Amino acid sequence: MEFAIQGLLLLSEPKTLVTIVVCSMYGLFVGSIPGLSATLAASLLVPFTFFMDPVPALVSIVTMSAMAIFAGDIPAALIRIPGTPSSAAYTQDSFALTQQGKAQLVLGTDVLFSAVGGLMGAVVLMTSAPLLAEIAMKFSTFEYFWLAALGLSATVMVSADSQAKGAISMCLGLFLSTIGVDITLGYPRFTFGSVDLLNGIDFIPAMIGVFGISEIMRNVMEADRKMIFAVKKVQTKGIFKGVWPLFRKYQWNMWRSGAIGTFIGVLPGAGADIAAWIAYAVSKRGSKEPELYGKGSIEAIVDAGTANNACLAGDWVPALVFGIPGDSITAVVIGVLFMKGLRPGPMIFEQQPEIIYAVYFAFIIANLLMVPFGYLAVKTSSQMLRVPKHILIPIIMMMAITGAFAMNNDVFDIIVLGLMGIIGFFMERHGYPVAPIVLGLVLGPILEQNFMTSMIKSDWNLTLFFVRPISAILGGITVAMWGFPFLMAFIGNTKKKNGAPAQ
C-alpha cells in the first residue's frame, strides 16, 4: 500500500502530468496517421527521455502507446486506412458503418471500448503480472507456431464471402513474407538479384497500399458520378449517446475480449494485431448476427477494439518481469529502463516497487484520459468528412505516399505501396478480402521461424507439436477451426439426404 501511494505521488508531480498530456496528444496524432506506427512514435520519444527522470520517461511511452493504438481506429473508420495494424481486423466493418451514416456510433464505440479494454489490461497487469509471466514462460517455439497459425486461421474463418478466397489472400501475404533472406540458411528467396528485395516487403506500405490506395482507385473510378461528391453531414454531437446501450448488450463480449487481449499481450512477440484478429474471429463465431461481419457489425468493433487495447498492458508483463519485450514498443521500453539504470526482472519489484506502481497507475490514467482526448480527436478528425471527396481523395493519396516513405526513408516502399494498391484493387473487385494479406505478412516470419526452429531442435519430429499440453490445446483448436466448415457441410448434406432441412 505504501509503495502504491508513493507511485501515485510520483505521478502527481507537475512535470509528469504535463508529460502525460503532451504524450497523449502525440500518441493520438501519430496513431491517426497511416504509415506512422506506435513503434516509430516510441522510437522518436527516446531522445526526449534522455532528459527525463525514470517515471516521466516510462509514463510518456505508456500514454503514447495507449492513445496511438486507439487512434488507429479513426482513419480506419473515416477513410478505410487503418492507422495501425491492430485496427486492420475491423477496418471493413468500421468503414461500412461510416458509409451507412453511423460514423459517430463507430467512433464513440472505439473510444469507450478501447478505454475499457485498456483499463481491464491495466488491472490484470497490477494484480497478476508475475503469475502471468510464469505461464508465458511455458510457451516455446511449438506454442508460438500454433498461436500464429491460430491467428491466421481466424482471418480465413471470418472471410465474409468465400473462405477459399480468404485462404488465398492469407497465402499471398505469407508468400510475400518469404521474399528476402530465409532464416535457416540465409539464402535469398524470390529476390531476383534485387538488393531492395533482400530486406523483404515491409508490412506498413503494403497495408497502406491494399487498404488505402485500392480504396482511392475505387473512388476515382466513380468520379463522373455526381452523387458520390455530395458532402456528408457528420454528426459528432453526442458520440457517446448510442454507445451506452452497447455496454449492456455486449457485456459478455467486452469481458471475453479483454481477457483474450490481455493474455495474448502477455506472450512475448504476440501483439495487438493478433489479439484483434482472434477476438474478431471468436466474436463472429459466438454472434447471433454473423452475416453482418465484414459488412458493418458494431459487435465486431466492440470485441476487437477492446482486445487490442487490453493487449498493451499485457505486453509489459514479460518486459517488467523478465526483461523480454512483449512487443516492439516494450522493446524500446526495455532500452529506456536500462538507460535509466533500472534492471527489468524480479528484482525491480523488490528494489523499486514505487516505479512499478507508477507505471500501473499511468496505464489507468492514460485509459481514463482516452475518453476526453479521444472525443476531441474524433471531433477534429470527423471534420475530414466535410471536405468534398474530389479534394479529400488526392490529399489522402499524398498522405499515403508520404506515410509509406516515412517508415524507412526508402523509395522502394512507395513502389510496394503502388503494387499492393493494384493487387488490392483487383482482388477486392473479384471478392477476395485484403485484410488477410496484411496479417499473413506480419505473422509469416513468426510462423516460419518457429516452425523451422521447432523442427530443427526436435530433429524433424512432428509429433512434438501435439505432445506438449499447451501446444496440443492450441493445435487442436486450430485444426478444429479448419475442420469445422467441412464438418458443418457434411452434417448439412447428411440431413438433406435424410429429408430434414439443413441448418
Partner 1 sequence: MGKKDCIGGGIFTCLGIVIWAFTFSFPELAAIGSVHAHPGPSLFPRVLGTLFIFFGSLVIFSGWRTSKLPPPPPPPEEEDGVKIAPLNYFNPILVIILIAAFIALAPKLGFIITGAAVLAVLMIKLHVAPLKSVIISVCVICVIYFVFAKFLRVPLPQGILTPLGF
For residues 202 and 354, which CB has a smaller minimum distance to partner 1 in the complex? Answer: 202
Hey, is 441 helix, strand or coil?
A: helix
Which range, of 174-182, 264-272, 337-345, 495-503, touches partner 1 by CB under 8 A? 174-182
Quick check: 440 and 173 in contact, CB under 8 A? yes
User: CB of residue 454 vs partner 1: minimum separation in angstroms?
Assistant: 12
User: CB of residue 417 vs partner 1: minimum separation in angstroms?
Assistant: 7
Size of the site for partner 1 (CB under 8 A): 60
What are 370's three cell numbers?
A: 482516452
For residues 234 and 423, which CB has a smaller minimum distance to partner 1 in the complex? Answer: 423
For residues 327 and 413, which CB has a smaller minimum distance to partner 1 in the complex? Answer: 413
Hey, is 121 helix, strand or coil?
A: helix
What are 202's three cell numbers?
A: 515491409
- Cα gap 424→445, rounded to integer Å: 21
User: CB of residue 229 vs partner 1: minimum separation in angstroms?
Assistant: 8
DSSP result, 208-267? IIIIIIHHHHHHHHTTT-GGGGSPPP---TTTTGGGHHHHHHTHHHHHHHHHHHHHHHHS
Q: Among 93, 143, 315, 448, which residue sits at the site for partner 1 (rule: CB under 8 A)?
A: 448
For residues 183 and 500, which CB has a smaller minimum distance to partner 1 in the complex? Answer: 183
Which range, of 67-75, 219-227, 241-249, 363-371, touches partner 1 by CB under 8 A? 219-227
What phi, psi does 36 have (nearest 5°)?
-110, 110
Check residue 218 for interaction with partner 1 (CB under 8 A): yes
Check residue 216 for interaction with partner 1 (CB under 8 A): yes
User: CB of residue 164 vs partner 1: minimum separation in angstroms?
Assistant: 4
CB-side neighbour CA atoms (13 Å) of 211: 36
For residues 237 and 430, which CB has a smaller minimum distance to partner 1 in the complex? Answer: 430
For residues 111 and 377, which CB has a smaller minimum distance to partner 1 in the complex? Answer: 377
Check residue 452 for interaction with partner 1 (CB under 8 A): yes
For residues 8 and 181, which CB has a smaller minimum distance to partner 1 in the complex? Answer: 181
Which range, of 60-68, 178-186, 195-203, 335-343, touches partner 1 by CB under 8 A? 178-186
User: CB of residue 261 vs partner 1: minimum separation in angstroms?
Assistant: 29
Cα–Cα nearest to 359, from 14, 2, 60? 60
DSSP assignment, residue 52? Answer: S
Check residue 463 for interaction with partner 1 (CB under 8 A): no
For residues 450 and 471, which CB has a smaller minimum distance to partner 1 in the complex? Answer: 450
Task: Specify the length of the chain in residues.
Answer: 503
Please state, as a whole number, how many other Cβ atoms lie within 10 Å of the Cβ of residue 427.
20
Check residue 125 for interaction with partner 1 (CB under 8 A): no
Q: Among 233, 288, 430, 497, which residue sits at the site for partner 1 (rule: CB under 8 A)?
A: 430
DSSP result, 160-201? SS-HHHHHHHHHHHHHHHHSEE-TTT--EES-TT-HHHHT--
Q: Which of residues 222-261 bind partner 1 (CB under 8 A)?
A: 222-227
Which range, of 221-229, 258-266, 307-315, 373-381, touches partner 1 by CB under 8 A? 221-229
What are 274's three cell numbers?
A: 493478433
* String of contacts with partner 1 for each residue 133-172, x by CB under 8 A: -----------------------------x-xx-xx--xx
CA torsion sign for 55, 60, 66, 69 is negative
Q: Among 261, 265, 271, 421, which residue sits at the site for partner 1 (rule: CB under 8 A)?
A: 421
CA distances from 116 to 22, 104, 121, 255 (A): 22, 18, 9, 9
Q: Which of residues 20-59 bind partner 1 (CB under 8 A)?
A: 36, 44
For residues 116 and 447, which CB has a smaller minimum distance to partner 1 in the complex? Answer: 447
Which range, of 62-70, 249-257, 406-414, 492-500, touches partner 1 by CB under 8 A? 406-414
Which range, of 70-78, 196-204, 218-226, 336-344, touches partner 1 by CB under 8 A? 218-226
DSSP assignment, residue 35? Answer: T
What are 173's three cell numbers?
A: 501475404
User: CB of residue 313 vs partner 1: minimum separation in angstroms?
Assistant: 27
Check residue 9 for interaction with partner 1 (CB under 8 A): no
Fill in the amino acid letter for 266: V
For residues 224 and 350, which CB has a smaller minimum distance to partner 1 in the complex? Answer: 224
Q: Which of residues 310-369 bind partner 1 (CB under 8 A)?
A: none
Cα–Cα nearest to 389, from 35, 76, 79, 34? 79
What phi, psi does 448 have (nearest 5°)?
-70, -45
Check residue 414 for interaction with partner 1 (CB under 8 A): yes
Check residue 126 for interaction with partner 1 (CB under 8 A): no
- Cα gap 200→196, rounded to integer Å: 7
Hey, is 53 helix, strand or coil?
A: coil
With a CB cutoff of 8 Å and minimum separation 6, the contacts of 390 are 223, 229
What are 272's three cell numbers?
A: 495487438
With a CB cutoff of 8 Å and minimum separation 6, the contacts of 425 are 213, 214, 217, 218
Residues that bind partner 1 (CB under 8 A): 36, 44, 162, 164-165, 167-168, 171-172, 174-175, 178, 182, 184-185, 187, 189-190, 213, 216-218, 220-227, 390-391, 393-395, 397-399, 401-402, 405-406, 409, 411, 414-415, 417-418, 421-422, 425, 430-432, 448, 451-452, 455-456, 460
